[in-house]
């Protein structure tokens, strides 16, 4: 079989695939701040419309009596000086009502807001988790810049609920500010200038969080590494190797130094921005003192006016401070967090945007790779370079090559975990890139060398391989039989009902090889996959068991009527030789392909590798 001829059967739509071939928003770019913020507002409203409106109204109402206190002080002073009892009574009654109403409204609004926050937090966390899980590729789990972006979002999501409170408070502070400015203007319009002197504080507050966040993200990889080192030093998974190698103290030192590398530039930026902020406040304070002197001396104001400027001016600084503080928080956490969240939403959505072709019911021709090249996103090195090959329907295909040759990467492209950087993958002549990822995955089954240990009951740990039949014991038992894992289940104290993982109540300890057999069974759960991928799923088993297992499996694989393709990656030639087609990768290129006999006769790279292994076992 030749590997690189273009194929005449591929006449169907032929859109060239490119990396992340998505339409819509560019996945690399963060969305704009204000639309992102608006989208998050709507998200909160969708989840808790009643509570959102009530909490918002309460916060606004609570702002009014508080802001009017300065006016009541002026009326009181005027009443006392003019010996006007009605003014005195109005002012004192107003003050008493204002204090009581402020307290009452604040208490109610705090309670309602807290309730709203608790509910919306759960909704947001679930939303982020769902989005991440629904992204159809795994690029965001492996690409450095996306990981940094997501690690910041993961931290932010726990404070995103504050942003609604922050928005309500900001509106409340702006309302107070408006009332206070109106009171100042009532003495003399020139006093409105006080707000101009407060602007530098607004500017520095708005600028600070942004610059701090940029620095944080620029150095986020150090923080991630520090977290990773901490987990390595403290979790069970690495426990044995950490002790045997004695790397523990070194991990602690490295963690500390990575943390310093992350923290030092951030601390520096915080100091610099704090200095500018302090200067801005000094400017406002000077203006405030000037305004009091102007009213008392320059404008020859009444005692009531002086009291009003003293109270309103002092409040103005508190209100400006609170407003800019909230705006800073909004900018820092909310705007930033909502942009990240919307980026994730767009990113998750973009993958299915151009999926317009159905996955075939059965395969007739098979899968063709045409000039497929691939570099992992964010890197330049081609891990697969101009690979063209036909994987015929109904056959078992082995992929061999040295470590790092690109075998697992090839499988990831076929599983649609990534899109090729150039070239295309055709399934029965139709581009895989235009098939809905979830539909394609429904017809995909597989077991991988880096399998995950689902610490559920054995029934479910295997059953997740075909979610609709998760609870069907007969389906799980069949899969266990296909994987030759009956011995593992027989040894479990309660069979399929046994909880796996010793850290859970009544949880059974399961060896690595046993886990691997259960993972293989999980891979065999689906009855009608079009593509079955076995990426070194039996590396922990001995060569003989692996051979027997695959011999049994290869026979049934060829019998199916769906034209199923089985892809097997193994370093053991005793297993590989029974495949119908063997594809040999070397240094990212496909160097030869054919049956075992063809390749031995060709006396190329496969033959050389085969003989080395055969000699080692003879």
Distances (CA, A) of 379 to 337, 421, 498: 27, 11, 44
Q: Which range in 53-61, 242-250, 330-338, 375-383 contacts ligand ATP by CB under 6 A?
A: 375-383
**Residue 2 interacting with ligand ATP (CB under 6 A):** no
CA 339 – CA 348 distance, rounded (Å): 14
DSSP assignment, residue 424?
E
CA 553 – CA 556 distance, rounded (Å): 5
State which of positions 252-281 bind ligand ATP (CB under 6 A).
none
Q: Is 15 exposed, middle or buried (0-12, 13-18, 19+ CB in 10 A)?
A: exposed
**Residue 451 interacting with ligand ATP (CB under 6 A):** no
Q: How many residues form the binding site for ligand ATP (CB under 6 A)?
A: 12
* Helix pair angle (303-329, 69-82), 10° resolution: 170
**Closer residue to ligand ATP (CB): 404 or 468:** 404
DSSP for 573-602, please give it. HHHHTTSSEEEEEETTEEEEEE-HHHHHHH
CA 5 – CA 407 distance, rounded (Å): 21
**Closer residue to ligand ATP (CB): 344 or 569:** 569
**Closer residue to ligand ATP (CB): 413 or 445:** 413
**Closer residue to ligand ATP (CB): 142 or 212:** 142
CB of 406 to ligand ATP, least distance (A): 5
**Closer residue to ligand ATP (CB): 116 or 451:** 451
Helix (H, G, I), strand (E, B) or coil at 431: strand
Helix (H, G, I), strand (E, B) or coil at 4: coil
Question: Smallest Cα–Cα separation from 103: which of 134, 61, 74, 133?
Answer: 61
**Closer residue to ligand ATP (CB): 204 or 409:** 409
Q: Which range in 182-190, 231-239, 376-384, 482-490 contacts ligand ATP by CB under 6 A?
A: 376-384
Tokens 């082995």, residue located: 398
**Closer residue to ligand ATP (CB): 480 or 583:** 583
**Residue 376 interacting with ligand ATP (CB under 6 A):** yes
Phi–psi pair at 354, nearest 5 degrees: -110, 25
CB of 585 to ligand ATP, least distance (A): 7
CB of 348 to ligand ATP, least distance (A): 19
CA 443 – CA 453 distance, rounded (Å): 22
* Contact yes or no for 43/288 (Cβ under 8 A): no
CA 330 – CA 460 distance, rounded (Å): 43
Q: Out of 142, 548, 586, 598, name the contact with ligand ATP by CB under 6 A.
A: 142
**Closer residue to ligand ATP (CB): 316 or 391:** 391
CB neighbourhood size of 130 (10 A): 10
CB of 27 to ligand ATP, least distance (A): 16
CB of 399 to ligand ATP, least distance (A): 8
Helix (H, G, I), strand (E, B) or coil at 565: strand
CB of 569 to ligand ATP, least distance (A): 7
CA 411 – CA 270 distance, rounded (Å): 46
**Closer residue to ligand ATP (CB): 383 or 609:** 383
State which of positions 387-446 bind ligand ATP (CB under 6 A).
401, 403-409
**Closer residue to ligand ATP (CB): 139 or 161:** 139
**Closer residue to ligand ATP (CB): 405 or 447:** 405
CA 423 – CA 2 distance, rounded (Å): 18
CB of 254 to ligand ATP, least distance (A): 22
CA 102 – CA 200 distance, rounded (Å): 30
Distances (CA, A) of 610 to 105, 259, 415, 581, 615: 81, 48, 28, 15, 9
**Closer residue to ligand ATP (CB): 417 or 432:** 417
CB of 358 to ligand ATP, least distance (A): 29
Q: Is 90 exposed, middle or buried (0-12, 13-18, 19+ CB in 10 A)?
A: middle
Site string for ligand ATP, 85-124 (x = CB under 6 A): ----------------------------------------
Bridge-based pairing of strands 422-427 and 430-431 is: antiparallel
CB of 379 to ligand ATP, least distance (A): 5
CA 218 – CA 326 distance, rounded (Å): 25
CB of 596 to ligand ATP, least distance (A): 19
Q: Out of 235, 379, 556, 603, name the contact with ligand ATP by CB under 6 A.
A: 379
CB of 317 to ligand ATP, least distance (A): 53
CB of 211 to ligand ATP, least distance (A): 31
Binding stretches for ligand ATP (CB under 6 A): 142, 376, 379, 383, 401, 403-409
């Amino acid at each position: 079989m030749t590997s690189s001829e273009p194929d005449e059967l591929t006449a169907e739509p032929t859109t060239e695939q490119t990396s992340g071939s998505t339409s819509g928003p560019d996945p690399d770019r963060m969305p704009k701040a204000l639309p992102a913020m608006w989208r998050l507002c709507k998200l909160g409203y969708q989840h808790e419309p009643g509570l959102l409106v009530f909490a918002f109204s309460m916060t606004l109402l609570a702002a009014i009596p508080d802001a009017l206190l300065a006016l009541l002080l002026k009326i009181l002073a005027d009443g006392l000086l003019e010996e006007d009892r009605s003014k005195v009574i109005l002012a004192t009654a107003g003050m008493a009502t204002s204090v009581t109403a402020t307290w009452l409204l604040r208490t109610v609004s705090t309670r309602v807001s807290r309730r709203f926050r608790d509910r919306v937090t759960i909704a947001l966390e679930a939303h982020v988790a769902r989005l991440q899980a629904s992204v159809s590729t795994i690029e965001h789990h492996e690409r450095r810049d996306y990981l940094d972006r997501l690690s910041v979002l993961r931290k932010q999501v726990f404070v995103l609920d504050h942003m609604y409170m922050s928005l309500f408070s900001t509106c409340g502070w702006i309302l107070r500010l408006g009332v206070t400015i109106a009171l100042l203007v009532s003495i003399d319009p020139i006093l409105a200038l006080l707000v101009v002197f407060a602007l530098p504080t607004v500017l520095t507050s708005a600028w600070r969080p942004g610059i701090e966040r940029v620095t944080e993200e620029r150095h986020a990889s150090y923080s991630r590494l520090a977290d990773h080192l901490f987990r390595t030093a403290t979790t069970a998974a690495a426990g044995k190797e950490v002790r045997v190698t004695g790397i523990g103290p070194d991990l602690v030192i490295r963690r500390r130094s990575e943390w310093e590398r992350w923290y030092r530039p951030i601390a520096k930026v915080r100091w610099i921005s704090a200095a500018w902020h302090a200067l801005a406040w000094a400017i406002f304070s000077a203006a405030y003192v000037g305004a009091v002197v102007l009213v008392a001396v320059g404008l020859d104001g009444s005692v009531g006016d002086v009291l009003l400027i003293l109270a309103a001016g002092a409040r103005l600084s508190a209100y400006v401070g609170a407003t800019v503080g909230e705006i800073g928080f909004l900018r820092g956490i909310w705007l930033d967090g909502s942009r990240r969240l919307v980026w994730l939403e767009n990113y998750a959505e973009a993958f299915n945007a151009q999926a317009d072709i159905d996955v075939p019911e059965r395969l007739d021709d098979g899968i063709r790779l045409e000039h497929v090249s691939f570099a992992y996103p964010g890197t330049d090195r081609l891990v697969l370079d101009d690979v063209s090959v036909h994987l015929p329907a109904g056959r078992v295909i082995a992929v061999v090559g040295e470590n790092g040759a690109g075998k697992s990467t090839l499988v990831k492209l076929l599983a649609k975990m990534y899109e090729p950087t150039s070239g295309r993958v055709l399934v029965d002549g139709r581009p895989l890139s235009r098939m809905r990822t979830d539909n394609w995955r429904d017809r995909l089954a597989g077991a991988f060398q880096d399998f995950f240990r689902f610490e559920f009951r054995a029934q479910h740990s295997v059953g997740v391989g075909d979610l609709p039949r998760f609870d069907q014991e007969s389906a799980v038992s069949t899969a266990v039989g296909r994987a030759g894992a009956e011995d593992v289940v027989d040894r479990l104290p309660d069979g399929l009902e046994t909880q796996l993982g010793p850290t859970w109540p009544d949880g059974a300890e399961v060896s690595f090889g046993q886990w691997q057999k259960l993972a293989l069974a999980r891979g065999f759960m689906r009855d009608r996959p079009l593509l079955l991928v076995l990426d070194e799923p039996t590396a922990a088993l001995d060569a003989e068991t692996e051979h027997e297992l695959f011999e049994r499996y290869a026979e049934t694989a060829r019998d199916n009527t769906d034209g199923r393709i089985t892809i097997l990656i193994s370093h053991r030639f005793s297993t590989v030789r029974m495949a119908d087609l063997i594809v040999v990768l070397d240094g990212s290129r496909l160097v030869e392909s054919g049956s075992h006999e063809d390749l031995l006769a060709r006396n190329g790279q496969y033959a050389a590798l085969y003989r080395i292994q055969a000699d080692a076992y003879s």
